[in-house]
DNA sequence: GCTATAACTTACCAAAAGGTAACATACGTA
DNA sequence: TACGTATGTTACCTTTTGGTAAGTTATAGC
């Protein structure tokens, strides 16, 4: 049963309602990852889209970026507390896909 | 904790990973609605996008369409069982937005 | 026979998203 | 001094998305 109809869902969708954002966030649930590793975990994403997506997530405070001043470059991304608060939703979306695919 | 890494989430996102689909589905949680009523409940959606979105949801078996042979036309949409299985996720997304907005 | 109605559909155009490939960086190593 | 490395950025182009406005339908009521 729906709780109200003014619909904060609209707000949520403006933050994470794209094809790639939930996928990127999902793969960070287990902890921080190097940029290249994270990108490889998202099948089909181009380099450009990956950068663009992670920049927006960073801007919105859902992931944080840690730069190691080494050569060649090393960058790690991880969920912020705000990003991590999406954990249950991300897992539910994943589980739903798994169940639905069976049918 | 994530359950696996092959990621059925990708499958889920291909079904409902757009700006409008979750919003349309959400407003059908309480039961069937006439086309025009449903459309008015989704703020900012154009007629064209509404039609296109609902057609895809119908094609994917998430909503069903009932036509009443009257003039002027009357059409009602409602969630299928498959669509209704997204209820918890849709509510979670809405609730998350409500909580997040406070901060 | 003209009009209002709800639910579309279509044509046209503008805006945004997205792919590919080249370039940038800076240091250690061959 | 040229190369490899990881992490980007940028330019160019194509594809997709999206908005607006006009057209379509069938009948009841004026």
Q: Do residues A63 and A25 lie in contact, with contact meaning Cβ atoms separated by under 8 Å? A: yes
Domain ranges for chain B, please list them.
8-102
Contact B41 A96 (CB under 8 A): no
3-class secondary structure, B72: coil
Task: Encode pLDDT of B10-63 as tens digits.
Answer: 999 999 999 899 999 999 999 999 999 999 999 899 999 999 999 999 999 999
- Indicate which of A2, A4, A41, A89 best probes the interface with B, i.e. most B CBs within 10 Å of its own CB: A2
Closest CA to A54 of A31, A32, A77, A72: A77
CATH 1.10.10.60 fits A8-102, yes or no: no
Q: Which nucleotide is closest to B54, CA to C1'?
A: C8
Task: Encode pLDDT of A18-42 as tens digits.
Answer: 989 999 999 999 999 999 999 999 9
The pTM score is: 0.91
């Amino acid at each position: 049963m729906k709780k109200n109809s003014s619909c904060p869902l609209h707000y949520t969708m403006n933050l994470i309602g794209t094809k790639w954002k939930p996928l990127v966030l999902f793969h960070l649930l287990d902890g921080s990852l190097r940029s290249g590793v994270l990108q490889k975990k998202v099948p089909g994403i181009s380099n450009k889209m990956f950068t663009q997506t992670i920049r927006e997530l960073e801007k919105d405070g859902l992931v944080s970026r840690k730069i190691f001043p080494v050569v060649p470059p090393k960058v790690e991304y991880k969920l912020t507390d705000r990003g991590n608060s999406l954990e249950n939703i991300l897992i539910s979306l994943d589980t739903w896909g798994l169940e639905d695919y069976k049918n």
